[in-house]
Amino acid sequence: MEYAMPTQIHELSGASAVFTTPVSSQNAIDWKTATYADSMNEAAIKLQTYATTAGLTPLASEWWHFNDLDARDETAHNSSEGDYLLTEIYSSSPLIGDN
């Protein structure tokens, strides 16, 4: 089953906003009292319910984006320079149409 969402994923416009006002991405509970934007539909709210039930926190500006604040806190002492080298890639491009 495919769901109609408020926008295409990764559309960085106001139409992707979850709430009518900014909500701190660093706070695990502020979003609970925020008002949904008019663009938030039943499918997006369902996705948010699944993610937040699993302990994630919604990002106010993107209906598809959730943060794991517990993981952030647990790994705060384990910083990284981000100097990674990919040696293998297992992803592939999706097939479109009859291909």
Q: Is residue 65 part of a domain?
A: yes
Q: Is residue 88 part of a domain?
A: no
Q: Under a CB-based contact definition with an 8 Å cutoff, are residues 33 and 17 in contact?
A: no
* Size of the chain, expressed as the number of residues it contains: 99
Q: Range of 51's domain?
A: 14-75
User: For residue 84, what pLDDT is reported?
Assistant: 87
Q: Is residue 67 part of a domain?
A: yes
Please identify which residue in the block is written with the tokens 């039930």: 53
Q: Is residue 24 part of a domain?
A: yes
Distances (CA, A) of 14 to 41, 60, 75: 15, 11, 32
User: For residue 1, what pLDDT is reported?
Assistant: 84
Q: Is residue 31 part of a domain?
A: yes
SS3 sequence, 12-62? CCHHHCCECCCCCCCCCCHHHHCCECCCCCHHHHHHHHHHHHCCCEECCCC
The pTM (predicted TM-score) of the whole model is 0.77
Q: Is residue 44 part of a domain?
A: yes
Q: Is residue 27 part of a domain?
A: yes
Half-sphere exposure of 59 (CA within 13 A, CB side): 11
Digits of tens for pLDDT over the chain (99 positions)? 889 999 999 999 999 999 999 999 999 999 999 999 999 999 999 999 999 999 999 999 999 999 999 999 999 898 888 888 989 988 888 878 765
Q: Is residue 25 part of a domain?
A: yes
How many structural domains are present in the chain? 1
User: For residue 99, what pLDDT is reported?
Assistant: 57
